[in-house]
Amino acid sequence: MSPPAGRAVLDGGRAAWAEAARPGYERSAVGPRMACYRPLGGGEEQTFAQAVAAGLGRGRGGEKSLSPRFFYDDRGSELFERICELPEYYLTRLEAGLLERAAPEIAEIAGPGARLVELGSGSSCKTRLILDALARARGGIEYVPIDVSDTLARSCACLLDDYPGLRVTGVIDTYQGGLEFAGDAGGGARTLIAFLGSSIGNLDGGAARDLLRRVRRAMRGGGDAFLAGMDLVKDRGILERAYDDSRGVTAQFNLNVLRRINRELGGEFDPAKFAHVAAFNESERRVEMRLRSLEDQAVAVRGLGITVELSRGETIHTESSHKYDLPQIRGMMAGAGLSVRRVWSDPRGHYALVLCSAAP
Ligand SMILES: C[S@@+](CC[C@H](N)C(=O)[O-])C[C@H]1O[C@@H](n2cnc3c(N)ncnc32)[C@H](O)[C@@H]1O
């Protein structure tokens, strides 16, 4: 009988990769311990071109907008890594500190032989703290990173050098597509699904609830677990500085989406004609990022055959980062059929690492 797709099999004591193709996916990189998949035809969700046409083609009435998913071309992913190192961007440092504390317990709960599925894995830097603990607990580790960014393959190739027992099935796809892929490929392995970096906060209420329900559906046995890093509500000044740093790296990250439109869709945006804006919306409890047009302008996007009309002061919404409190987190998880099993937080209560299991 052939092994399930994307699963490693033991071959005379050596891990060998099961090369089974996945219908609807192309394998974009394959090595002895790594396979990368991407959906043929771009998957179910809006393409960049469709999103730009729908979000910026909009005339008067309704704010222009783009999903934060489109920040992460190669340059955007690189800029995000620089953001993570900024003194103002407390999220990465706090989460890494909490992971260091929590990883042994997480590895114990995950149990031997567990598979690690990660949503929005990015550089997989903090993932190393979980991998270290899993590696200490046993030899082989199966890792399934899911990310829309093409940088996924590079990030995981670095991991292979450092973890000899690691096998990687990378999925270059959206969270939704990746979860389906991981569910189908899971076999009987116990699964820990990680969602770090407070990326869940980039989803508005309904989308976050929908994703959590998908996470719950992807969890099968009672031993599966879900680990989420979630940013907590705090002082406005701390929040706004985290998204509008003194070195202007976040501004470059935000403006890069215009450069991406120029590169990929034949746009003629001049980033110098836009300002980066980040403000905490207290009633919605989220930091909102926008690009504000500094003048009246009409910008052609030749590849789409459209002209984007912007008046002076008009904004394009590019990201919301929701902030939570613990009762709200418990409610969100319960609403998706997840029960919070353990919470790790820093002494000032600025960030939380939340471990959930399927609600009974
Ligand atoms: C805020 S970064 C966090 C990266 C990493 N987890 C961390 O904690 O540093 C969000 C990551 O999710 C990816 N991403 C954003 N939207 C996505 C989506 N809808 N589906 C899959 N990946 C997405 C981005 O490419 C990026 O790597």
Q: What is the pLDDT of residues 102-144, one digit of tens each?
A: 999 999 988 887 899 999 999 999 999 999 999 887 767 899 9
Q: How many domains does the chain have?
A: 2
Residue 4 pLDDT level (bands cut at 50, 70, 90): very low
Is 105 part of any domain? Answer: yes
The more confident residue out of 58 and 47 is 47
Question: pLDDT at residue 177 above 60?
Answer: yes
Residues 6+ apart with CB under 8 A from 19: 30, 35
Which residue range forms the structural domain that includes residue 145?
Answer: 88-232+324-358
Residues 92 and 201 in one domain: yes
Residues 192 and 298 in one domain: no
Nearest Cα to Cα of residue 252 among 32, 6, 82, 55: 82
pLDDT over 90 percentage in the chain: 79
pLDDT for residue 153: 92
Is 127 part of any domain? Answer: yes
Which residue of 148, 198, 214, 260 sits with most ligand 1 atoms within 8 Å of its CB, as the best mutation to test the pocket? 148
Buried b (16+ CB within 10 A) or exposed e, 130-168: bbbbbbebeebbbbbbbbbbebbbebbbebbeebeebbb
pLDDT for residue 42: 63
Mean pLDDT over 54-83 rounds to: 92
Summary mean pLDDT of the chain: 91
Residues 278 and 241 in one domain: yes
Q: How far apart are CA 178 and CA 58, in angstroms?
A: 30
Return the ligand 1 atom nearest residue 76 CA. 25
Residues 94 and 203 in one domain: yes
pLDDT over 70 percentage in the chain: 91
Residues 194 and 243 in one domain: no
Residues 56 and 110 in one domain: no
* pTM metric for this prediction: 0.93
What does residue 9 show for φ and ψ, rounded to 5 degrees?
A: -125, 150
pLDDT for residue 123: 96
Is 32 part of any domain? Answer: no
Is 6 part of any domain? Answer: no
Residues 140 and 270 in one domain: no
Distance in Å, CA 122 to ligand 1 centroid: 6
Q: What is the CA radius of gyration of the chain?
A: 21
Residues 222 and 271 in one domain: no
Residues 100 and 183 in one domain: yes
Give the CA distances from residue 247 to residues 197, 238, 256, in Å, rounded to whole numbers and listed in that order: 21, 15, 15
Residues lining ligand 1, Cβ inside 6 A: 69, 72, 80, 84, 92, 120-122, 126, 146-149, 174-175, 196-197, 199
List the CATH number of the domain containing 116. 3.40.50.150
Place of tokens 């099999």: 9
Mean pLDDT over 179-206 rounds to: 90
pLDDT for residue 16: 39
Distance in Å, CA 11 to ligand 1 centroid: 34
Residue 44 pLDDT level (bands cut at 50, 70, 90): low
Residues 141 and 278 in one domain: no
